[in-house]
Structures are given as C-alpha cells and as structure tokens.
Amino acid sequence: MNAARNPDEGEVSEAFVSELTNHQTAMLAFIRALMPGSSGARDLLQEVNIILWQKRAQFEPGTSFKAWSFQVIRYHLMNHRRRLASKGWLIFDDDLVERISPALEADPEELECRHQALHLCLSKLRPKDRALLQHRYASGAPLNDYAKVINRSAGTLKATLFNLRTALRKCIERRFQEQGIPLP
C-alpha cells in the first residue's frame, strides 16, 4: 500500500527516515569499530541503509531504533566478514565481535560531543601538525614516505605524533570538563 492511500504509512516512513538520518554518525562509528582498518566503512553504511529501508516495516515505533539498527549491522557485518574470509582476508572472529559490540554502542549525543571537541581541538593545531595527523590516520601511506617528503626523520614524526595525541586528549578532556560532560 502506498503512502498516498494510507497516511499512517507516510507518517511511519517519515519517522523512520528521521531515525535513520539521526543515527548515521553512530552507525558509521559502530561499523568502523567492528571493521577496523576497513576502508569501505561508508560503503558498508550505505548497504546497511538499504537493508534497514527494506526492513523498515519490521521496526516498531517507540522502541530503540539504535538497538534495532545495530543488530542489523551486526548481522550484515558477520555476512560481510564471512565473504572476506572466503577470499582469504584475516578478520575478527564473529564471537569476538559479539562480545565487544555492546561496549561500542555509545550514545549518539556523546559521539557528537566527542566529534565536535575533536574538530575544535584539531582546528587549534598548526597546519603542518594537522597535515601530519591527516597523513598518519587518513592516507594509509607509510610514515617513512611522508618523512622523506617533508625532509624529517620517521622517529621525529613518531615523537611529534605522540605529543599531538597527548595534546588532543588534554584539549578534549578540557572541553568535556568545561561542558560538564563526564569523561569517557
């Protein structure tokens, strides 16, 4: 039955889209936590979005969308990991994922606060320090290659990264304390 003939279904779809949209950041973080090192987290999120849309009639309004969607994510990623394993990829065991996944289900508001604090703290760094962090955590290229490009030793860059991580952690902790948010 289409939404034009049944206004209740349109309301359910609208509420569902709202829930789906509001949980994208948390869902992506959950996927990344369950598939560390995977460059395809956003692709997996899109696959999950399609599955969630197809299963939207199974979602009961008034219940936790996050819990329901995270369960769908777990099953989808188990199947995805099985496909990777069949191709010879080294992956987490399903049992391990089931044991650690409840700890990864952080509150979306808390994730957003962390994200905002990190963004603010990163903006306070010098451009060359942000570039080093970007290279280390986003490019996937070896640190030695970057060291050659900027004419510094890899050891110096490792020490700089250590200091940057410490400074970011302290900055984020200060932001949390200023906002009265308990530290994770």
Model confidence pLDDT, tens digit, residues 147-178: 999 999 999 999 999 999 999 889 988 988 88
Q: Are residues 98 and 30 in the same domain?
A: yes
Q: Are residues 15 and 96 in the same domain?
A: yes
The whole-number average pLDDT for the span 3-25 is 71
Residues 6+ away with beta carbon under 8 Å from 45: 24, 27, 28, 31
Q: What is the pLDDT of residue 157?
A: 92
**Contact criterion met (CB below 8 Å) for 174 and 124:** no
Q: What is the pLDDT of residue 158?
A: 92
Q: What is the pLDDT of residue 6?
A: 41
The domain boundary, picked from 69, 104, 139, lies at: 104
The domain boundary, picked from 58, 89, 104, lies at: 104
The answer to whether residue 11 is domain-embedded is yes
Q: What is the pLDDT of residue 105?
A: 53
Is residue 26 exposed (0-12), middle (13-18) or buried (19+ Cβ within 10 Å)? buried
Helix 127-134 and helix 154-179, axial crossing angle in degrees, nearest 10:
100
Q: Are residues 49 and 65 in the same domain?
A: yes
pTM value > 0.85: no
Q: How confident is the model at residue 109 (pLDDT cuts 50, 70, 90)?
A: low
Q: Are residues 112 and 82 in the same domain?
A: no
Q: Are residues 164 and 149 in the same domain?
A: yes
The answer to whether residue 1 is domain-embedded is no
Q: Are residues 135 and 175 in the same domain?
A: yes
CATH code of the domain covering residue 85? 1.10.1740.10
Is residue 87 exposed (0-12), middle (13-18) or buried (19+ Cβ within 10 Å)? exposed
Q: What is the pLDDT of residue 99?
A: 54
Backbone angles phi, psi at 47, to 5 degrees: -60, -45
Indicate whether 38 pLDDT > 70. Answer: no
Q: What is the pLDDT of residue 91?
A: 47
The answer to whether residue 184 is domain-embedded is no
Indicate whether 90 pLDDT > 60. Answer: no
The whole domain housing 128 covers 108-179
The answer to whether residue 14 is domain-embedded is yes
Range in 34-38, 49-53, 119-123, 157-161 with the lowest mean pLDDT: 34-38
Range in 26-30, 32-36, 91-95 with the lowest mean pLDDT: 91-95
The domain boundary, picked from 104, 121, 145, lies at: 104
Distance CA 32, CA 133 (A): 18
